[in-house]
Structure 1
Amino acid sequence: MVHYKLSYFDARGLAEPIRLLLHYVDDEFEDIRYTRESWPEVKENLESTVFPVLEVEGQKVERGYHILRYLAHKHSLAGKDTWEEAQVDSIADYNREVYLELAPYIYIKAGYKQGIVEEAKNDVFLPGIKRHLPTYVKILKESGSSFLVKSGVTWVDFVLAEFLFTMKNMEPEVMKEYPELEAYMKRVYSLPRIKEYVEKRPTREV
């Protein structure tokens, strides 16, 4: 059996879609989490501080999307053909752009960055949500399935479900305006083995 080690901070962040995928395919893995308190000391002994990192039989894959694509191809979760793979990659890249646009607010709200929460909410977060969440609704409707592409579950579903969960954590009321996305997020979290993990996982805002 392949032995996986996933290293990241003690947060959901970029590693959580990977954790969801590994639970979904029922692959055992060592979930290594570094706390804020331990990080300065741990950092001194690491070869690289690029996270997340997946170690597979002594070899390492760095960065969230690279890891997700690697695992998705191993477990037939990258799309049924090259067209769907392109769709999946496009949605993932779009989601990364949206997250980066909203990041100033997310980091302030989560306490990682100084700033005025209400100001960032009104100037960055709410306009961005109104601009981008309808796009996800459109993608879901056009897929003709309950997930982001026609053939069913792919790795980008874990990315979007986690993104939506973070948005709901930030401002619970925003998801009420998009019931399709709320239902979609719950659908992903109800997948086999993911449901059990989500119910027991540590509570983290991001």
Structure 2
Amino acid sequence: MAGVWRYCFLILIFGIPMHTYAAVVQGANCVKEEPCFDLNVLANMAERVSKDVTAADGEKILLKHRSFDKIGKRKNLHSCVLEKIINLFEDVLDRTKGNYVHNKEEINHHLELIHIMEQLKKCLYKTKDECKKLFKKSDITTTSSLIPEKNMSPNQLAVLQLQKLKSASKKLDDVHIQEMVMDELKSLHLYMKGKGFQKKTND
């Protein structure tokens, strides 16, 4: 541990580029790895792909940010829910890829975004067993409409989000659902922030 701090001290003082040890300095902290994925890339690519999509009416598929933030504070819940969110968006991108023309651009941003979805999955915590339990719970649990969303626990919110995703997944041939997903794609990067969006390194 002392060696790590000594390494960080050398970088801070002398700015010596040492690449033999996989550490980077962020502020005053010594971090073992660089961020798994630059979410600015996701945001910019999503904006290019969805810029012409009209905001969809009706109930949103993704929870409000203040509700989702509660899920984000629980890394296992967050990674399991993100897995399903990424799957849904990837499915819609795949279904709609023929609707977008990129003749005037060097990069097909639509296809590139599909590849990004695969990269995002690799950044999630590996919580296979926990996810199975949560997915099963969301299948058998009936979310009570008597509990306001703002009063729900992180577990209840995770179940609610999974149920909304499952409902949308069953209607992917519906153009309205496709448009809703493409519209929400613009803010998807905001849901990635949190403890769950990091690759687990202590395997």
The two structures have a TM-score, normalised by structure 2, of: 0.29
Greater relative CO (CA pairs within 8 A, separation 6+): 2
Tell me the TM-score normalized by structure 1. Answer: 0.28
**Higher Cα radius of gyration:** 2
More strand by share: 1
